[in-house]
Structure 1
């Protein structure tokens, strides 16, 4: 027996080559015969073909996915550039007007307003739901809906102000509902003085920055404060110059939406340019300003005179306020040149001032608008320079003082009807330390504050 080497080439599924040795016998001089047993099954050609097809399909899929990844890389690079550019733009906007950045979309605003309308409509049909407070809130929600519609057609950065108003309305709706649930409504009718005086002051409601900008810290604003005036929708804003002293003009807006969007303004000049020289004969001094029956009342510049300017005719008048101190002799604490402070309430027009005789104590004078004179005066025991501001409600003087950067207190009162005075403690939150002006409006029972250039207002409650 001889050993012959036989090499068999087998094709397997993995396409490998396999070599084997086999024992054979010599047949003839040049023939070697070997006997080899092959497997019974035939070669799996079909499986190999299917494997090749699957391999090609997988290869194509890998190529497709690789191409998609390349496309996604391109898209990601594009969006990365957009994000970088957007970030730069937002940073630029933050540097310019951080208060103007949009925090919400108009769709969200509209949805929230619809929810408010449904909510307050439900409150109107509840027992005690037809109170003046509920009706006022209902009208404000309707006005806000119109305002948002108008804002949407303009610069969308202004939507932030609308959002603030909605947040304020929501808070007031919650407070209103709590009051309705707590006890039957005992609201004092607007214009009535049949009550026991001031009971509560709400949280501050921020309207917006004054139209001249945040460099103009001092001033006043509000609505026509004469009881039952025909100009109830009119708003006015009177920022003083940056020196905190001179009032050169005021701006009038026909409605709240006009005020919020700074549109349709009417400017009333108080300083006159005569022969290329500024004349301050009818300019104002200090922020003790009020609008009463479509007339602006204020302290004439550099004098103890009272000034009056008609908002419609532009006619100016001045009358001396006898013995009144001026030019920052006795202003309120924290604000300059408010020696003379006009105030309006249910009983008419008042002026708050000091005299040499009163030695810095607050004097309250009742203004006769027909003759433009002060007919009656009352001298209090409260030092004006210790107070931060004051206002009148139903002939009662209420005086405030600062308790810190975020809190004010109504601490003193004087009733001109009885001549009695007293102390009380009604807290009043504020958004900045200085109160540059504070005035009451009997038509909507609100306090209007000008503080560090911003316009704020408060709701008040009276004791039945």
Structure 2
């Protein structure tokens, strides 16, 4: 037959092809080369930040060099088994392509890129900050050069001594506050100034210390004020505080500095009107404020507002705004939940219920002049001025029979009947305004555009007139109304459209 085919196979070398595996390996080799190029680029960038990725690069390089010599096939020697089947062995190396390492290498490259960008942004920020510090150093250099050229020295700045002086001043003011009675407005203002000065010194100590020299001058001024307060201390300690409703005292001794509350709710053009706090012996704890600006003609009372508290007044949070039948003048007052005013163009008293905003009673005031016949000096249409004190409701007016002198009448608040009348010798048009406390009439007159004087008194309890001199500081020139509240013993002024409040100090009877 010829030679066995198996023998031919045995003699000839066997040729084994692995096309699919080798093709896949070639693809991986190409990908590895591309990643190697990427790694080389990242490694060069990371060296800028002092970070080196040479070890993964060397491993990849060695693997690529070994893989580049592989062929897509291999020759091996085969053998025949007992059944005549050709067999051969193929050796596959263990050093397969490190895909996981390449993935870690790629992640590392991304992290290095992010770090590089972060470091670069920090460098830019540091550059800007250095420029700012350069400007600050230049400014400090100029300040030091100025100090070297002038006589100012840091030996003048003894902060501990200044703090000690401020503490002493504060202690003295606190002592004055505890010993003074009645109105302590000046002392309170002085105390606030000293506290502000203390804060200023603490700030200056941490900043430009040379400014403390100006603070020293301010301290000298404050010390002078303290000396003035101490000089008046003996006189002040002789005064007593009298609770609301207590009339066991003499006339007004002193009046506080003005407390400016705010402009009236209708605005600056409404310069005339009146305001005050609700007064009632039945409900002394009730807090109700009323504001009644006149129309711009200074005559007609058309609108008013009520406020449930002092805070509501400050915030313009009114309980209600109400329109009434025209009243006249700035002599309005409120007592026991009723508003009393002069009905326009008449000699009538009108009584208005605040709960319903309705006029419940009108009554003629006997012989009273009206229609601007005898108004106050500088204020028109205030022929009738209603007042409230500890004993009830009053009206201040004039008659033709009194030739324009002030007449005082005590009214029955329910019926508006006149209970008693007193005629004074003080001409009403020469008085700027008036009010009543404990049955004593107090009349004012202008001293100048910023000061008013309480100069005249009439005691309805004794029928005696008197002369005093108590200065009232005012914000603006004209006093449109003065309304006394026996609930808090404060005086309420309507001053050219502004709401102003004062506290009062009285003489004890032992000094009268």
TM-score normalised according to structure 2 size: 0.55
Relative distance call for 1:406 and 1:227 in structure 2 (3 A) is farther
8 Å contact 2:412–2:418 — kept in the other structure? Answer: yes
How many angstroms apart in 2 are the aligned matches of 1:181 and 1:353?
36
How many angstroms apart in 2 are the aligned matches of 1:401 and 1:411?
7
8 Å contact 1:288–1:437 — kept in the other structure? Answer: yes
User: Which residue of the partner structure matches residue 292 of structure 1?
Assistant: 335
Relative distance call for 1:392 and 1:318 in structure 2 (3 A) is same
1:346 equivalent in alignment to 2:395? no
1:399 equivalent in alignment to 2:399? no
SS in 2 for 1:385: helix
User: Which residue of the partner structure matches residue 461 of structure 2?
Assistant: 417
Relative distance call for 1:380 and 1:286 in structure 2 (3 A) is same
Matches within 5 A, 1:347-386: 347-386=391-430
How many angstroms apart in 1 are the aligned matches of 2:313 and 2:425?
39
User: Which residue of the partner structure matches residue 432 of structure 1?
Assistant: 476
User: Which residue of the partner structure matches residue 443 of structure 1?
Assistant: 487
Relative distance call for 1:64 and 1:370 in structure 2 (3 A) is closer
Higher helix share: 2
Q: Which runs of 5+ in 2 are unaligned?
A: 1-119, 133-169, 189-224
8 Å contact 2:331–2:384 — kept in the other structure? Answer: yes
Matches within 5 A, 1:24-39: none
How many angstroms apart in 2 are the aligned matches of 1:133 and 1:428?
13
8 Å contact 1:128–1:180 — kept in the other structure? Answer: no
Structure with bigger gyration radius: 2
String of CA shifts for 1:81-121, please: whole Å, max 9, x gaps: xxxxxxxxxxxxxxxxxxxxxxxxxxxxxxxxxxxxxx9xx
8 Å contact 2:183–2:504 — kept in the other structure? Answer: no
8 Å contact 1:223–1:232 — kept in the other structure? Answer: no
Matches within 5 A, 1:111-130: none
Matches within 5 A, 1:226-241: 226-227=280-281, 229-230=283-284, 232-241=286-295
User: Which residue of the partner structure matches residue 261 of structure 2?
Assistant: 207
User: Which residue of the partner structure matches residue 337 of structure 1?
Assistant: 381
8 Å contact 1:238–1:251 — kept in the other structure? Answer: yes
Aligned length: 306
Over aligned residue pairs, what C-alpha RMSD do you find? Answer: 3.4
Relative distance call for 1:438 and 1:299 in structure 2 (3 A) is same
1:248 equivalent in alignment to 2:291? no
SS in 1 for 2:367: coil
Deviation above 4 Å: which 4+ runs of structure 1?
A: 63-69, 126-129, 131-134, 178-182
8 Å contact 1:387–1:399 — kept in the other structure? Answer: yes
**1:333 Cα deviation after fit:** 0.6
User: Which residue of the partner structure matches residue 249 of structure 2?
Assistant: 195
User: Which residue of the partner structure matches residue 112 of structure 1?
Assistant: none
SS in 2 for 1:287: strand
User: Which residue of the partner structure matches residue 301 of structure 1?
Assistant: 344
How many angstroms apart in 2 are the aligned matches of 1:179 and 1:254?
38
